[in-house]
């Protein structure tokens, strides 16, 4: 048995114990009578501009994250394979943006990059 398989088994057993210890039955039938407008205080007035901006932006456009947010989304060079150094230098150590930029590069550029190589 490999170390990965052993770790998977240990984690699986722990997860099963957690689920068994929290075996509370929730009254799910009451959800059918839930009225979102009456029962939830969810106000997004301050997000209206941001939400409308998200809906209106073109899929291929890369710019700032949104109105009032100075965070820039960087475009990685299309014909250069991203490295951890190229990602870290652009995202200033914010790993969520590193992953986002890498996923965007794979989505937009991996096919052409593989064809060229």
DSSP 45-106: GGGHHHHHHHHHS-TT---EEETTEEEEPPPPPTTS---HHHHHHHHTT-HHHHHHHHHHHH
CA distance 108 to 78: 8
Residue 92 has pLDDT above 70, yes or no: no
Looking at the fold, whether 48 and 82 belong to one and the same domain comes out as no
Tokens found for residue 84: 């951890």
Tokens found for residue 93: 């150590």
Range of the domain at 101: 74-117
User: What are φ and ψ of residue 39, in 5° steps?
Assistant: -95, -10
Question: Do residues 64 and 72 make contact, with C-beta atoms less than 8 angstroms apart?
Answer: yes
CA distance 32 to 36: 11
- Residue 69's DSSP bridge partners are 66
**What pTM value is reported for the model?**
0.37
Residue 106 forms part of a structural domain: yes
Residue 104 forms part of a structural domain: yes
Residue 54 has pLDDT above 60, yes or no: yes
Looking at the fold, whether 80 and 116 belong to one and the same domain comes out as yes
Residue 16 has pLDDT above 80, yes or no: yes
Residue 3 forms part of a structural domain: no
Residue 40 pLDDT level (bands cut at 50, 70, 90): confident
Looking at the fold, whether 56 and 81 belong to one and the same domain comes out as no
Work out how many domains the chain is built from and give that number: 2
Looking at the fold, whether 79 and 116 belong to one and the same domain comes out as yes
Looking at the fold, whether 64 and 83 belong to one and the same domain comes out as no
């Amino acid at each position: 048995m490999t170390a990965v398989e052993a770790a998977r088994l240990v984690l699986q057993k722990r997860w099963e114990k957690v689920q068994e210890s929290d075996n509370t039955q929730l009254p799910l039938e009451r959800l059918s009578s839930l009225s979102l407008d009456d029962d939830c205080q969810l106000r997004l007035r301050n997000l209206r501009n941001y939400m409308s901006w998200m809906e209106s932006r073109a899929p291929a456009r890369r710019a700032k994250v949104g109105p009032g947010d100075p965070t820039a989304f960087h475009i990685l060079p299309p014909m250069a394979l991203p490295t951890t150094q190229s990602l870290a230098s652009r995202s200033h150590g914010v790993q969520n943006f590193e992953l986002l930029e890498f996923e965007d590069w794979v989505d937009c550029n991996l096919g052409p990059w593989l064809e060229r190589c």
